Amino acid sequence: MSNKAIFFDRDGIVNYRKVNDYIKKVEEFKFIPAFFETLKITKQNGYLALLVTNQQGIGKGLYTAIDLAIIHNHMQQELLRLTGYKFDDIAFCPSLHEVNDFRRKPNPGMILELIERYNLEPNHCWMIGDSESDILAAESAEIKSILIRESFCKCNPTLRFDSLEQLNRVFSQIIRSV
């Protein structure tokens, strides 16, 4: 069993984010094509691929945990079909932002739970996200972070790239150097 992992945010990294809305059904879920290569590099280098995603649309009553499970099942089947790999585990937090749930990013709860579950070595873990909350959660969990974002962010990631395509060019070298 690997003691190293790449944690991934979902919306904006695995799939296209719906602006001012939520992915509520399978038909709305559209992969970001460059993510396929990111996942392959992760798995081919012996890392666990772990998804950590805030899903406050459940807390708002816009969709259910069952709807989310259907979306994630579809995502996993398609990843396996298209890449030969899938996520090793998925954690989600349905809480509303206002609740300040320890599991909800920017808090580190989901990451810490998975570190414990898989007996991971934090200094061999990375978080890849597109928002400040992803980077803050990584910092709180004491793991390295990669921000994928073209626009300004007040956060301080370990590394920053404008796109997954840009990351993919050097990703193997980055995670092999740990």
Confidence (pLDDT) at 164:
97
- Does residue 95 contact residue 56 with C-beta atoms inside 8 Å? yes
pLDDT digits (tens, 9 = 90+) for 9-42: 999 999 999 989 999 999 999 999 999 999 999 9
Q: What is the pLDDT of residues 143-178, one digit of tens each?
A: 999 999 877 778 899 999 999 999 999 999 999 987
**Number of domains the chain contains:** 1
**Domain that residue 87 falls in:** 5-176
**Rounded Cα–Cα distance for residues 126 and 4 (Å):** 9
- The question of whether 130 is a catalytic residue gets the answer no
pLDDT at 119: 97
> What band does 2 get if pLDDT is binned at 50, 70 and 90?
confident
Residues 155, 105 contacting (CB under 8 angstroms): no
Among 11, 67, 101, 130, the one annotated catalytic:
11
pLDDT tens-place string over residues 132-141: 999 999 999 9
Work out the end-to-end distance of the chain between its first and last CA atoms, rounded to an integer number of angstroms: 17
pLDDT at 50: 98
What is the spatial distance between Cα 166 and Cα 161, in angstroms, rounded to a whole number? 6
| Predicted pLDDT of residue 81 | 98
pLDDT band at 1 (very low <50, low <70, confident <90, very high): low
Tell me how far CA of residue 105 lies from CA of 3, 69, 81, 167, in angstroms. Answer: 22, 20, 30, 23
Residue 88 annotated as catalytic: no
The pLDDT tens digits of the residues spanning 84-122 come to 999 999 999 999 999 989 999 999 999 999 999 999 999
> Furthest-apart CA pair in the chain: how many Å?
44
- Residue 26 maps to which CATH number? 3.40.50.1000
Q: At what angle do helices 109-117 and 132-141 cross, to 10 degrees?
A: 50
Share the mean pLDDT of the chain. Answer: 96
Q: Is the pTM of this model over 0.85?
A: yes
pLDDT tens-place string over residues 118-134: 999 999 999 999 999 99
**Is residue 162 within 8 Å of residue 150, measured between CB atoms?**
yes
10 Å Cβ neighbour count for 21?
A: 10
